[in-house]
Chain A
Amino acid sequence: MERKRQFKDFLPWLILAGLALVPLFLNNPYFLHMIIMVFIWVCLGQSWNLLGGFTGQVSFGHAAFYGVGAYAGGLLAFHFDASTWYGMILGPLMAMAVAVPMGLICFRLRGSYFALSMLALAELLRLIATNWISFTNGSVGILIVPTAGKVFYYYLALALAALSFSVIRGVVQSKWGFYFVAIREDQEAAESMGIDTTKYKLVSLLISAFFTGLTGAFYMNYMAFIDPSVVFALTDVSIMMILVVMLGGAGTFYGPAIGAVIMVIFSEVFRIYFGSANLLVLGVLIVLIIIFIPNGLMDIREYLTRRKYA
């Protein structure tokens, strides 16, 4: 038991070291791109998971934070000809600024208000970004000249994934994490145990928005192009984030990472083989997940190990 725990402690470092070596052997830009996309989805999955999986506050519109993070840098470049790299600082802060009023309004209420308000917010921002052409360049989007090579982006994406993973893990294992899970499990009990539930739901939302915005800002730099339908996308961002977490296992540390790997590979394979029907196949996959592994893949592992020790 003691040995096993030690190995578990080293596992994230081993994975990190292994991933850091990949570009030395792999020069194929397509595969590097796929791995970068996995890193992006690990960040997004972790962010959604903190709020939805651990704190129990489901959001149907995290694309709002992703898009705001991406557009923060994009608009700097569009209006002031500034480097989109500033977006890596401004983006997450703007995402948090958007999150504050949402949290203050919706977290006083229980039930589905927050989830639906987030959905509305993301759609609202998408429509604004599409139609306020003088400010956002509308659906034409914002195009910049990429400033770095693929390998650089690979390491930056890896660093972001590692950062979001370790920060969120640290948060979950602290007093805040205990409070988040308590709120998820029973809000009234949590309140009677001295937890200001509105405040701590907001804290969770802000951390989640920060990392979603940061990832959006990275996406702007990496892809060198954004438009409203890409970064404020309902299915491809908001819903996909939920799927990544649900597939891997909500409220687990490794779930979103596993979900991200599988989702990125699947949607790429489906796109190649099924063309525009790929969403249909993805839909079938979702139904299968809900029926057979409602608690995600992490649950299967737990199920197997429990069997073994029983």
Chain B
Amino acid sequence: MLEVKNLTKYFGGLAAVQNLSFKVEKGQIFGLIGPNGAGKTTVFNLINGFYPPTSGEVLFRGEPITGRKPNEVCKKGIARTFQVVKPLSRMTVLENVMVSAFCRVNSINEAREEALEALEFCGLTHRQDSLAKSLTIGDRKRLEIARAMATRPKAILLDETAAGLNPAELDQAIFLIKKIREQGVTILIVEHIMKVIMSISDRIHAINYGQTIAEGTPQEVANNKSVIEAYLGEAYA
């Protein structure tokens, strides 16, 4: 479905992502983990087209999308959310999602219908007429997902959707992510909160300093020596 091949990105002399390869199967929830600054968001920006990679390739459904612009990647069927949420502040929640829906439809009415559906899906219907800037952080994260879903994606990149949520909201977020998978959408997720990533991922890829340190099932990765080392230091490994 989504394949990353020897992806490398240098910012000046700094290798943010180095020779990274992984493969996400259709319908999978694929977790990408790593300590702060490991390069997770950079990987998203490379897939999504915000940065061109220094070298390497991104394949989506067998087709290379390397170097495509973000709007083209979105049209191909890869949607994303942002870790630092980017609501269109002075638009209402409904209008925010309508902008996304216009990715697939042209008329105002169709866009409104699609947007309402996405809001319903994410449990934001009651806030549809609020200005996006008035939302709580939890609702802003939902808005990110609603916007991504309204583009009718085949795959979705979730960047720390659960960060900053309280325990009740966390459970709702996990529920929502599982619901996205039930829609047949493949999910690539970056997450720091282990409760979330361990309980929902089919497969986890761990990176540090932009390089692969482990890949496997959540259980395998959790017990991997290099992963423990990267997170807790050598003394605990």
Question: Which A residues fall within an 8 A CB radius of B?
Answer: 173-175, 178-179, 181-182, 185-186, 188-197, 251
A194 touches B100 (CB 8 A): yes
Our pick among B74, B90, B111 for the contact of A192 (Cβ within 8 Å) is B74
B71 touches A185 (CB 8 A): no
Our pick among A175, A188, A190, A197 for the contact of B108 (Cβ within 8 Å) is A175
Interface of A is mostly: helix
The verdict on A190 contacting B50 (CB below 8 Å), with A173-B108, A175-B106 known, is no
Complex CA gap A195/B75 in Å reads: 9
Residue count of chain B within 8 Å CB distance of chain A: 28
Q: Knowing that A175-B111, A189-B86 are A-B contacts, what are 18 other residue pairs whose CB atoms are under 8 Å apart, sorted by A's residue number? A: A178-B95, A182-B99, A185-B88, A185-B89, A185-B90, A185-B91, A189-B82, A190-B88, A190-B99, A191-B70, A192-B48, A192-B50, A192-B70, A193-B147, A194-B74, A194-B75, A195-B99, A196-B69
Complex CA gap A174/B194 in Å reads: 43
Complex CA gap A118/B89 in Å reads: 28
Question: Does B103 count as interface, using CB distance less than 8 angstroms?
Answer: yes
B99 touches A192 (CB 8 A): no
Q: What chain B residues lie within 8 Å of A190 (beta carbons)? A: 88, 99
* Interchain nearest-CB distance for A169 vs B (Å): 14
Question: Does B122 count as interface, using CB distance less than 8 angstroms?
Answer: no
Among A185, A186, A194, max chain B CB count under 10 A is at A194
Q: Closest chain A residue to B102 by CB distance?
A: A175
Q: What chain B residues lie within 8 Å of A188 (beta carbons)? A: 50, 70, 82, 86
Q: Closest chain B residue to A173 by CB distance?
A: B108
Q: What chain A residues lie within 8 Å of B103 (beta carbons)? A: 193-194
Interface set, chain B 69-103, CB cutoff 8 A to A? 69-71, 74-75, 79-80, 82, 86-91, 95, 98-100, 102-103
Our pick among B71, B79, B87, B147 for the contact of A191 (Cβ within 8 Å) is B71
B71 touches A186 (CB 8 A): no
Complex CA gap A193/B78 in Å reads: 10
B70 touches A178 (CB 8 A): no
Q: What chain A residues lie within 8 Å of B71 (beta carbons)? A: 191-197
Among A178, A190, A196, max chain B CB count under 10 A is at A178
B69 touches A191 (CB 8 A): yes
Our pick among B79, B86, B88 for the contact of A181 (Cβ within 8 Å) is B88
Complex CA gap A178/B98 in Å reads: 8
**Closest CB pairs A-B (n = 5):** A194-B103, A185-B88, A194-B74, A189-B86, A191-B70
Q: Closest chain B residue to A174 by CB distance?
A: B108
Q: What chain A residues lie within 8 Å of B111 (beta carbons)? A: 175, 178
Q: Closest chain A residue to B110 by CB distance?
A: A175
Question: Does B151 count as interface, using CB distance less than 8 angstroms?
Answer: yes
Q: What chain B residues lie within 8 Å of A193 (beta carbons)? A: 71, 74, 99-100, 103, 147, 151
Complex CA gap A188/B44 in Å reads: 13
* Interchain nearest-CB distance for B52 vs A (Å): 14
Pairs A–B under 8 Å by Cβ, sample size 29: A173-B108, A175-B102, A175-B111, A178-B95, A178-B111, A179-B99, A181-B95, A181-B99, A182-B99, A185-B88, A185-B91, A186-B87, A188-B86, A189-B82, A189-B147, A190-B88, A191-B50, A192-B48, A192-B71, A192-B79, A193-B99, A193-B100, A193-B147, A194-B71, A194-B74, A194-B100, A194-B151, A195-B71, A195-B99
Complex CA gap A175/B31 in Å reads: 35
Q: What chain A residues lie within 8 Å of B95 (beta carbons)? A: 178, 181
Q: What chain B residues lie within 8 Å of A182 (beta carbons)? A: 88, 91, 99
Complex CA gap A186/B74 in Å reads: 16
Q: Closest chain A residue to B48 by CB distance?
A: A192
Q: Closest chain A residue to B100 by CB distance?
A: A193
Our pick among A174, A175, A192, A197 for the contact of B80 (Cβ within 8 Å) is A192
A179 touches B102 (CB 8 A): yes
Complex CA gap A99/B198 in Å reads: 54
A178 touches B50 (CB 8 A): no
Among A175, A185, A193, max chain B CB count under 10 A is at A193
Q: What chain A residues lie within 8 Å of B79 (beta carbons)? A: 192
Complex CA gap A196/B95 in Å reads: 18
A189 touches B88 (CB 8 A): yes
Q: What chain A residues lie within 8 Å of B86 (beta carbons)? A: 186, 188-189
Complex CA gap A294/B91 in Å reads: 19
Complex CA gap A195/B79 in Å reads: 12
Q: Closest chain B residue to A188 by CB distance?
A: B86
* Interchain nearest-CB distance for B79 vs A (Å): 8
Complex CA gap A173/B102 in Å reads: 13
Interface set, chain B 30-87, CB cutoff 8 A to A? 48, 50, 69-71, 74-75, 79-80, 82, 86-87
Q: What chain A residues lie within 8 Å of B48 (beta carbons)? A: 192
Among A174, A189, A191, max chain B CB count under 10 A is at A189
